[in-house]
Amino acid sequence: MGYALLEHTADLKIKVWGKNLLELFQEAASALYSVSTDSPLPQPTQKSQKIKLEVEGKDEETLLVNFLNELLYLSDVENQGYQVAKLELKNDKLKAELLPYPLPPLKFEIKSATYHDLKIQKTKQGYEAVIVFDI
Domain 2-134 has CATH 3.40.630.30: no
Q: Where is pLDDT greater, at 7 or 53?
A: 53
Query: What are 75-130's pLDDT values in tens digits?
Result: 999 999 999 999 999 989 999 999 999 888 888 899 999 999 899 999 999 999 99
Closest by CA to 34, choosing from 9, 64, 52, 12, is 12
> 39 pLDDT band (50/70/90 cuts)?
confident
Cα R_g (the chain), whole angstroms? 14
Q: Is the pLDDT of residue 37 over 90?
A: no
Q: What is the pLDDT of residue 1?
A: 67
